């Protein structure tokens, strides 16, 4: 390309008329339709040229199957007017003001929203955003579990003292990772299945700080089909009414499988202890949960084979 990248619109040709590339509609009270001219908004991007993007669908032509980036606005004309005002009776051309991410209910966004373009970097920002940093759950869980594993003493072969010293010097040690991870919100997603429902869900245990809120979230997820279903692992809990799942008044009871493979009633142990030992959850019919407290073996009574 000569002279670097030339943006569509701006300088050349008949950009101003914008008759090509389809029309677009702006919803007004009178439902009058006019062409929308998109002006690149005030942002850190130096907008020497204004871009015109019609709201038309480009079928073939520029940017399509040929993949060629055409210079100038003539390419928009080649698309043809596929869409007319009739196609856009109520599409509103609307821009978020701050150029930041749109409001979303999935995942907590407070950290992301607080970051501006001024370049200040927030501290500890990534802890509350779903799926960020992008690390697979398998890897995260391995990391977490290793942090709790006891470290064998390094004596005998090797530089014993050096190793020990370096363990002390570095800020990392098993305990710190453990607590840092639990406090900052590691990937505490566990599977939840409910008797009678084939599709399981996942819940982020770190979005909760007590049994009540967890039970509330699970009730919302499984026992109510209201449109205000919270995204999994999303907003902080609102502890309001006592949960029926926990007090035995419901047809169902909340149980969990611990690290040893035993099924237990949820609520027996302190919350932190529960967090460190829970593997997955099951909403069980009360009729099947008889004899569950305090220890309960899975009803098929499978033999646990020792690995060695």
Partner 1 sequence: MQKKMAYSFPDEVLEHVFSFIQSDKDRNAVSMVCKSWYEIERWCRRKIFIGNCYAVSPRIMIRRFPEIRSVELKGKPHFADFNLVPEGWGGYILPWIVEMAGAYPWLEEIRLKRMVVTDESLELIAKSFKNFKVLVLSFCEGFSTDGLAAIAASCKNLKELDLRESEVDDLSGHWLSHFPETYTSLVSLNISCLGSDEVSFSALERLVGRCPNLRTLQLNRAVPLDKIATILRRAPQLVEFGTGTYAAELRPDVFSNLAGAFSSCKELRSLSGFWDVVPAYLPAIYSVCSRISSLNLSYATIQSHDLIKLVCHCPSLQRLLVLDYIEDSGLEALASSCKDLQELRVFPSDPFGAEPNVSLTEQGLVAVSLGCPKLQSVLYFCHQMTNSALVNIAQNRPNLTRFRLCIIAPRKPDYVTLEPLDVGFGAIVQHCKDLRRLSLSGLLTDRVFEYIGTYAKKLEMLSVAFAGDSDLGLHHVLSGCESLRKLEIRDCSFGDKALLANAAKLETMRSLWMSSCSVSFGACKLLGQKMPRLNVEVIDERGPPDSRPESCPVEKLYIYRSVAGPRFDMPPFVWTMDDEDSALRLS
Ranges within 99-118 binding partner 1 (CB under 8 A): 99-107, 109, 111-112, 115, 117
- Cα 262 to Cα 114, 148, 255, 265, 294, distances in angstroms: 43, 20, 10, 10, 10
Our finding on whether 297 is near partner 1 (CB under 8 A) is no
Distance CA 119, CA 127 (A): 19
Give the one residue of 53, 85, 239, 292 binding partner 1; rule: CB under 8 A.
53
From the CB of 294, what's the least distance to partner 1, in Å? 22
DSSP 50: -
The residue whose two tokens read 């035993």 is 262
Using CB under 8 A, which residues numbered 57 to 96 contact partner 1?
A: 57-65, 67-69, 82-83, 87-88, 90-96
Q: Which phi and psi angles does 181 have, rounded to 5°?
A: -65, -45
Q: Are 24 and 35 in contact (CB under 8 A)?
A: yes
Least distance (Å) from partner 1 to the CB of residue 248?
27
Nearest approach in angstroms of CB 249 to partner 1 is 27
Using CB under 8 A as the binding rule, the residues of this chain from 202 to 241 that contact partner 1 are 202, 225-233
- Could you tell me how many residues of this chain bind partner 1 (CB under 8 A)? 123
Least Å distance, CB 128 to partner 1, is 9
d(CA 299, CA 27): 61
Nearer to partner 1, 114 or 249 (CB): 114
If the CB atoms of residues 55 and 246 are measured against partner 1, the closer one turns out to be: 55
Give me the least distance between CB of 204 and partner 1, in Å please: 8
* DSSP secondary structure string for all residues of 94-154: ---TTSSPPP-SSS--HHHHH--TT-PPPSSGGGGSTT-S---HHHHHHHHHHHHSPPPP-
Tokens of 58: 């480009």
Instruction: Report 130-189 residues binding partner 1 (CB under 8 A).
Output: 130-140, 142-143, 146-147, 149, 151-158, 162-163, 166-167, 170-172, 177, 180-181, 184-187, 189
Instruction: Name which of residues 239 to 258 contact partner 1 (CB under 8 A).
Output: none
For residue 221, how far is the Cα from the chain centroid? Answer: 17
Of 10, 19, 85, 129, the one binding partner 1 (CB under 8 A) is 129
Q: Residue-wise over 230-269: b if at least 16 C-beta within 10 A, else e? A: bebbbeebeeeeebbbbeeebebbbbbbbeeebbbbbbeb
**Applying CB under 8 A, does 12 fall inside the site for partner 1?**
no
Among 29, 30, 45, 86, binds partner 1 (CB under 8 A): 45
């Amino acid at each position: 390309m000569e002279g670097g990248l030339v943006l569509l619109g701006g300088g050349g040709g008949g950009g101003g008329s914008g008759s090509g590339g389809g029309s677009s509609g702006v919803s007004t009270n009178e439902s009058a339709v006019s062409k929308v001219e998109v002006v690149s908004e005030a942002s850190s991007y130096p907008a020497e040229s204004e871009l015109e993007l019609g709201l038309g669908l480009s079928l073939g032509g520029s940017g399509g199957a040929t993949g060629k980036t055409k210079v100038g606005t003539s390419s928009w004309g080649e698309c043809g007017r596929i869409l007319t005002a009739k196609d856009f009776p109520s599409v509103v051309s609307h821009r978020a003001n701050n150029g930041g991410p749109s409001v979303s209910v999935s995942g907590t966004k407070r950290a992301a929203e607080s970051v501006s373009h001024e370049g200040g970097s927030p501290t500890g920002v990534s802890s509350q955003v779903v799926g960020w940093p992008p690390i697979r759950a398998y890897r995260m869980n391995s990391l977490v579990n290793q942090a709790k594993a006891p470290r064998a003493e390094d004596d005998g072969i090797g530089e014993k003292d050096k190793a020990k010293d370096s363990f002390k010097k570095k800020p990392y040690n098993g305990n710190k990772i453990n607590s840092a991870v639990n406090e900052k919100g590691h990937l505490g997603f566990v599977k939840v299945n409910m008797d009678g429902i084939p599709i399981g869900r996942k819940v982020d245990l770190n979005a909760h700080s007590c049994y009540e809120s967890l039970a509330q979230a699970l009730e919302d997820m499984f026992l109510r089909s209201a449109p205000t279903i919270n995204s999994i692992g999303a907003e902080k809990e609102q502890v309001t009414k006592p949960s029926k799942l926990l007090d035995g008044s419901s047809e169902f009871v909340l149980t969990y499988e611990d690290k040893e493979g035993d099924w237990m009633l949820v609520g027996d142990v302190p919350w932190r202890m529960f967090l460190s030992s829970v593997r997955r959850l099951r909403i069980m019919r009360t009729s099947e949960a008889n004899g569950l407290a305090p220890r309960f073996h899975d009803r098929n009574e499978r033999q646990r084979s020792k690995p060695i």
